[in-house]
């Protein structure tokens, strides 16, 4: 019996599944098996109700009125910020900035802090397993500033090559921007080690936590990262809203990203003064309803317990790796050790294109992702242009993994007949 089989759940997966209306759907006459959670997660009734309740009972603008609806909306909006701050153990709510998504959060740091601190001859360090959103902004900034963009290589084992990290991150490094968990390989990167080295040379650290915050306990103070970002829709929340956490002093010294209402203290015909944190970075009417629904998603996950969520996913990942590895036709990329990865498994079939495989599985009601997963350089490093990806969350079961494995075999039989 392996360690994953010894895990004891403190939440009932069937009870969890009952909270998600979409899991009652039939796709092509088959029960939905949703294994595309790295792209977006499904929403529990608790979150859906929070969203509709705002529009039915409290709809008003925030920070702009003294009437009851505006006060209630403002209170709910700011309470959601406090919930998110507590979820990642941010030291104060004003260090949590609402954005549209992880991509905007990354771009915000590149366009403000990095724009003001990176100069000719400096270097920016990222890893070879980044999402395009954590590559392209740094490419553009490096070209603009005549700075060097450096990559920490990833080995074929799916792990970062850390042996020469002291040479890559050096006295000319201004920022290290890394994914916490790879959306292709599932690798859990050594953020603590990267942060220690970056701080030794006076660099700041930005973490793309889109694939970690929804799945495992994340403590920004314990990690000592300078910036961290994630999206609500990957953690049971709505689309169109994300989070940027930053250390207070760094955020306070940064220039605004956008200009408009609510991010100002005073405007004259000649000049303007900026508002305090966090509003300095939240110009215009914010995404009020989705912020409140994000707070509801945090409540739901807190009720389950993030340690329990992580254990559940590790158990599923270990089982999936074992079952999928038994198919000789599959090549799985990423760490072989399930304790080194999150619930993301990318794979290629030796005779079926990923898009064909994904289409065949869809006919069986099984939803996976196919393509380059917004990480073209990484996927191409495996000498392919696309991969299939299965990714797990709180409502997935071992039975669904069995359905995936059987579905791959059935689809292969169809294409190879």
Please list, residue by residue across 146-183, b when 16 or more beta carbons sit within 10 angstroms of its beta carbon and e when fewer do. Answer: ebeebbbebeeebbbebeebeebbeeebbbbbbbbbbb
Q: Which helix (H) or strand (E) holds 402?
A: helix 398-415
C-alpha distances (whole Å) from 209 to each of 73, 174, 177, 296, 325 are 28, 20, 11, 19, 28
Which two three-digit tokens encode residue 287?
């995404």
C-alpha distances (whole Å) from 221 to each of 174, 175, 212 are 21, 18, 16
Taking a C-beta distance cutoff of 8 angstroms, is the pair 312, 56 a contact? no
Taking a C-beta distance cutoff of 8 angstroms, is the pair 278, 180 a contact? no
H helices present in 220-305, as ranges: 220-223, 248-253, 288-304
Q: Which residue in this structure is represented by tokens 């397993």?
A: 129
C-alpha distances (whole Å) from 28 to each of 354, 363, 365, 406 are 20, 6, 6, 17
Catalytic-residue membership of 229: no
Could you please report the per-residue DSSP string of 22-88?
GGG-EETTEE-EE-BTTT-----HHHHHHHHHIIIII---SSS--SHHHHHHHHHHHHHHHHHHHHT
Cα 1 to Cα 264: distance, rounded to the nearest angstrom = 60
Cα 317 to Cα 311: distance, rounded to the nearest angstrom = 10
23, 153, 374, 376: which one is catalytic? 374
Per the DSSP assignment, residues forming a β-bridge with 56 are none
Q: Is the dihedral of CA 328, 329, 332, 338 positive or negative?
A: negative
By annotation, the residues acting in catalysis are 374
């Amino acid at each position: 019996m392996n360690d994953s089989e010894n895990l004891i759940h403190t939440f009932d997966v069937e009870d969890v599944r009952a909270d998600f209306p979409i899991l009652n759907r039939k796709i092509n006459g088959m029960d939905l098996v949703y294994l595309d959670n790295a792209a977006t997660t499904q929403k529990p009734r608790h979150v859906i109700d929070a969203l509709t309740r705002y529009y039915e009972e409290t709809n008003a603008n925030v920070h702009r009125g003294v009437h009851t609806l505006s006060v209630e909306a403002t209170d709910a909006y700011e309470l959601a910020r406090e919930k998110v701050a507590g979820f990642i153990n941010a030291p104060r709510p004003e260090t949590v900035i609402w954005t549209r998504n992880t991509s905007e959060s990354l771009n915000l740091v590149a366009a403000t802090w990095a724009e003001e601190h990176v100069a000719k001859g400096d270097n920016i360090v990222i890893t070879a397993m980044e999402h395009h959103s954590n590559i392209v902004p740094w490419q553009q900034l490096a070209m603009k500033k005549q700075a060097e963009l450096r990559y920490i290589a990833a080995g074929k084992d799916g792990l970062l090559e850390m042996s020469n990290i002291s040479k890559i991150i050096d006295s000319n490094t201004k920022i290290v921007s890394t994914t916490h968990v790879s959306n292709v390989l599932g690798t859990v990167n050594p953020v603590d080690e990267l942060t220690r080295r970056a701080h030794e040379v006076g660099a700041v650290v930005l973490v793309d936590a889109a694939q970690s915050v929804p799945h495992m306990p994340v403590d920004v103070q314990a990690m000592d990262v300078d910036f961290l970002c994630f999206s609500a829709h990957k953690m049971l929340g709505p689309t169109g809203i994300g989070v940027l956490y930053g250390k207070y002093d760094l955020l306070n010294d940064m220039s605004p990203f956008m200009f408009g209402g609510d991010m100002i203290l005073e405007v004259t015909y000649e000049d303007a003064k900026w508002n305090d944190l966090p509003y300095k970075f939240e110009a215009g009417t914010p995404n009020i309803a989705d912020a409140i629904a994000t707070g509801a998603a945090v409540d739901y996950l807190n009720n389950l317990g993030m340690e329990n969520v992580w254990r559940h996913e590790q158990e599923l990942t270990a089982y999936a790796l074992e079952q999928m590895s038994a198919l000789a036709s599959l090549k799985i990329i990423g760490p072989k050790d399930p304790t080194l990865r999150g619930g993301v498994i990318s794979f290629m079939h030796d005779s079926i294109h990923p898009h064909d495989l994904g289409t065949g599985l869809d006919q069986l009601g099984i939803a996976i992702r196919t393509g380059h997963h917004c990480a073209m350089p990484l996927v191409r490093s495996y000498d392919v242009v696309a991969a299939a990806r299965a990714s797990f969350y709180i409502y997935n079961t071992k039975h669904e993994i069995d359905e995936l494995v059987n579905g791959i075999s059935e689809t292969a039989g169809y294409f190879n007949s």
